[in-house]
């Protein structure tokens, strides 16, 4: 400790570790903002950012701070959609990705998915959207199987799902397309059920978790195969 440290508040101490501990105990927003904007240590700034509520200040930090983890922390605490859009206007790809994940306006998300100059941003927005044309393009063409699978899980076109479950090079994607196909088919089905029949458990399977002391009945849709169950 230097002599000058004796006459300063601990959040201005020369040792960053002491400043960190001091910030953890602070609640005064004005002081926290000063620290977040001016402290030379990124860990200290991040701790201060974590406790700031002012959306405008958080946006300034998200745009201007030199440290990625500080910027990310700031964005994680921004809920105001207009300020998130301000971050999306910047050129920092990582900050833009964090910001787009917090958007809620489907029209803005769709506009980004169609028009943003960054393909990675377009991809993220596309997977967030419900636009079937964009999702179909991703499901058919994206090089990453996990992105294709994510798109498949939001598709509603049975023809496209049939194509993917039969032709995608990834078994995982084909399986997801098959599951999604069945789900969509069942969701759109005007169910015509067979008669109820008594079974030993709700799915009549040896490894289910049903209460074996209870009797179950099931019935199956003649059109889509959906199984409905009830206790009897």
pLDDT, tens only, 111-132: 999 999 999 999 999 999 999 9
DSSP state string for the chain: --GGGGGS-GGG-SSHHHHHHHHHH---HHHHHHHHHH-S-HHHHHHHHTT---HHHHHHHHHH-S-HHHHHHHHHT---HHHHHHHHTSS-HHHHHHHHTT---HHHHHHHHHH-S-HHHHHHHHHHS--HHHHHHHHHH-S-HHHHHHHHTT---HHHHHHHHHH-S-HHHHHHHHHHHHHHHHHH----B---EEESSSS--TT----TTS-EEEEEBTTT--EEEEE-
For a pLDDT cut of 70, what percent of the chain falls above it? 90
Q: What is the structure's pLDDT at 222?
A: 78
Q: Which two tokens stand for residue 141?
A: 């063409």
- Higher per-residue pLDDT: 129 or 225: 129
**Is 90 exceeded by the pLDDT of residue 46?**
yes
Q: How far apart are CA 55 and CA 77, in angstroms?
A: 8
The domain spans of the chain are 192-232
**Is 80 exceeded by the pLDDT of residue 171?**
yes
Query: pTM for the complete prediction?
Result: 0.71
- Higher per-residue pLDDT: 97 or 214: 97
Check if the beta carbon of residue 43 is closer than 8 Å to that of residue 23: no
**Tens digit of each residue's pLDDT (9 = 90 or more) over 136-156:** 999 999 999 999 999 999 999
**Tens digit of each residue's pLDDT (9 = 90 or more) over 52-77:** 999 999 999 999 999 999 999 999 99
**Is 90 exceeded by the pLDDT of residue 191?**
no
- Higher per-residue pLDDT: 231 or 34: 34
Q: What is the structure's pLDDT at 26?
A: 95
**Is 80 exceeded by the pLDDT of residue 208?**
no
Check if the beta carbon of residue 104 is closer than 8 Å to that of residue 77: no
Describe the strand order of the beta sheet including 197-199 as a list of residue ranges.
Answer: 197-199, 216-220, 227-231
Residue 160 CB partners (closer than 8 Å, separation 6+): 136, 139, 140
How many other C-beta atoms can be found within 10 angstroms of the C-beta atom of residue 31?
Answer: 17
Q: What is the mean pLDDT of the chain?
A: 89
**Chain mean position to CA 188:** 27
Give the bridge partners for 57, in sequence order.
none
Instruction: Using alpha carbons, select from 85, 140, 97, 139 the residue that is nearest to residue 122.
Output: 97
* Distance spanning both ends of the chain, measured CA to CA: 77
Q: Which of 68-77, 96-105, 222-231 has the lowest mean pLDDT?
A: 222-231
Quickly state the pLDDT bin for 1 (edges 50, 70, 90). low
Check if the beta carbon of residue 36 is closer than 8 Å to that of residue 49: yes
- Higher per-residue pLDDT: 210 or 24: 24
- Higher per-residue pLDDT: 98 or 222: 98
């Amino acid at each position: 400790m230097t002599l000058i440290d004796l006459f300063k508040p601990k959040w201005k101490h020369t040792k960053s570790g002491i400043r960190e501990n001091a910030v953890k105990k602070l609640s005064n927003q004005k002081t926290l903002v000063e620290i977040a904007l001016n402290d030379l240590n990124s860990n200290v700034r991040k701790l201060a950012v974590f406790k700031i509520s002012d959306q405008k200040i958080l946006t300034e930090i998200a745009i201007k701070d030199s440290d990625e983890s500080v910027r990310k922390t700031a964005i994680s605490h921004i809920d105001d959609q207009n300020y998130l859009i301000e971050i999306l206007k910047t050129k920092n790809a990582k900050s833009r990705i964090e910001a787009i994940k917090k958007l809620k306006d489907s029209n803005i998300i769709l506009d980004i998915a169609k028009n943003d100059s960054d393909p990675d941003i377009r991809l993220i927005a596309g997977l967030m959207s419900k636009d079937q044309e964009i999702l179909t393009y991703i499901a058919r063409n994206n090089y990453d199987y996990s992105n294709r699978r994510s798109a498949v899980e939001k598709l509603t076109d049975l023809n496209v799902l049939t194509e993917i479950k039969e032709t995608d090079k990834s078994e995982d994607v084909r399986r997801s397309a098959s599951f999604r196909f069945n789900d969509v088919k069942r969701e759109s089905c005007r169910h015509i059920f067979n008669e109820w029949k008594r079974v030993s458990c709700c799915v009549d399977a040896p490894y289910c978790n049903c209460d074996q002391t209870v009797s179950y009945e099931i019935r199956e849709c003649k059109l889509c195969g959906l199984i409905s169950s009830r206790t009897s």
